[in-house]
Amino acid sequence: MKYALCYNPNIDSSKAAMQNLLSILEKYNESVDILDIDNLKKGYDLVFVIGGDGTILKSARFYSEYNTAIFGVNLGRLGFLSQAGGDNLESAVGQILAGDYKIEKRIMLKSGNIVALNDFVVKGEDCSRLGGFLLEINGRFVCEYLADGLIISTPTGSTAYSMAAGGPILTPELDNITIIPICPHTFSARPIVVSSNSKIAISSIKTSNFSVSADGQKSLSVTNKIVVGKSENCANLVLLKDNNFFTVLRTKLNWGTSPANF
């Protein structure tokens, strides 16, 4: 197995975590390449990614093209996509080197040459004004939205911006895409869940341009229409066998817990 360790050299806590992880791997006599998050390279079987969900999302987009597995080590506030932190890092590394893990494939979205693991978010170019959006699915007119924007989300992204906007939570293995209006100006506008084989087209009905972001990181300005569909590549997330989606919901989102017990 060929391993790499990805971190952000501009963040002090990331440097410290990198040195800690490197020392753990050296205990197992494993050699590992050190990568800068802004200078990722291919050619690895598994990449340890140190950072919050944003760092993991960026790495997942890059390594999906090469079918490379990534393992998230959390430095952020929530770390929903990560599997280990400072308190269980050494045991997690031991499990990985022993092969005691699974790789979960997560569907991704694509528009042109831009991919997203969580979501595409479409908003009007003038953020101070209400947007008008026309939605088509597989070439068929669905409806027009007056809203602050629309979120096109994967199951992985269903616990991110989508959830904050009132969208449903989907388990990661589902092969679906969710379309969620952001602050719609009608009570009849609700999230829609469609097959991942669907082609989703969004046009502006008030201005010729609107802004689009992929995973909240890559931004582009679009004229007239954007079409989003399922990417041919998947993200390959390494999961420890004693973790599962519902465990993460309970421990990181306090799912089903009374607010008095937070």
Q: Which range among 2-6, 135-139, 184-188 shows the weakest confidence by mean pLDDT? A: 184-188
Q: What is the pLDDT of residues 13-26, one digit of tens each?
A: 889 899 999 999 99
Question: Is the domain of 122 the same as that of 31?
Answer: no
Does residue 31 belong to any structural domain of this protein?
yes
Question: Is the domain of 76 the same as that of 133?
Answer: no
Q: What's residue 186's pLDDT?
A: 83
Identify the band that residue 209 occupies on the pLDDT scale cut at 50, 70 and 90. Answer: confident
Identify the band that residue 188 occupies on the pLDDT scale cut at 50, 70 and 90. Answer: confident
Question: What is the domain-level CATH number for residue 78?
Answer: 3.40.50.10330
Does residue 262 belong to any structural domain of this protein?
no
Taking 60 as the threshold, does the pLDDT of residue 261 lie above it? no
Question: Is the domain of 114 the same as that of 95?
Answer: no
Taking 80 as the threshold, does the pLDDT of residue 87 lie above it? no
Catalytic residue among 36, 38, 53, 175: 53
| Residue range 177-206: mean pLDDT, rounded | 92
Q: What is the pLDDT of residues 42-84, one digit of tens each?
A: 999 999 999 888 899 999 999 999 999 999 998 766 677 888 8
Give the integer Cα–Cα distance in Å for 250 and 84. Answer: 16
124 phi and psi angles, rounded to 5 deg: -65, 150
For the chain, how many structural domains are there in total? 2
- Asked about 175 being catalytic, the answer comes back as no
Q: What's residue 77's pLDDT?
A: 64
Taking 60 as the threshold, does the pLDDT of residue 103 lie above it? yes
Which domain range does residue 202 map to?
A: 110-231
Question: Is the domain of 134 the same as that of 154?
Answer: yes
Question: Is the domain of 93 the same as that of 175?
Answer: no
Does residue 152 belong to any structural domain of this protein?
yes
What are the structure tokens assigned to 161, written together?
């911006």
Question: Is the domain of 93 the same as that of 183?
Answer: no
Does residue 137 belong to any structural domain of this protein?
yes
- With contact defined as beta carbons under 8 Å apart, do 129 and 221 qualify? no
Q: What's residue 158's pLDDT?
A: 95
Question: Is the domain of 119 the same as that of 24?
Answer: no
Q: What's residue 259's pLDDT?
A: 62
Question: What is the domain-level CATH number for residue 131?
Answer: 2.60.200.30
157 burial level (CB within 10 Å; 0-12, 13-18, 19+): buried
Q: What is the pLDDT of residues 128-155, one digit of tens each?
A: 677 889 999 999 999 999 999 999 999 9
Does residue 185 belong to any structural domain of this protein?
yes
Question: Is the domain of 28 the same as that of 55?
Answer: yes
| More confident call, 130 vs 106 | 106
208 burial level (CB within 10 Å; 0-12, 13-18, 19+): exposed
Does residue 239 belong to any structural domain of this protein?
no
188 burial level (CB within 10 Å; 0-12, 13-18, 19+): exposed
Taking 90 as the threshold, does the pLDDT of residue 243 lie above it? no
Does residue 72 belong to any structural domain of this protein?
yes
Question: Is the domain of 119 the same as that of 224?
Answer: yes
Does residue 245 belong to any structural domain of this protein?
no
Q: Which of 191, 160, 163 is nearest to 177 (CA)?
A: 191
Last residue of a domain, one of 54, 76, 99: 99
Question: Is the domain of 122 the same as that of 227?
Answer: yes
Question: Is the domain of 145 the same as that of 178?
Answer: yes
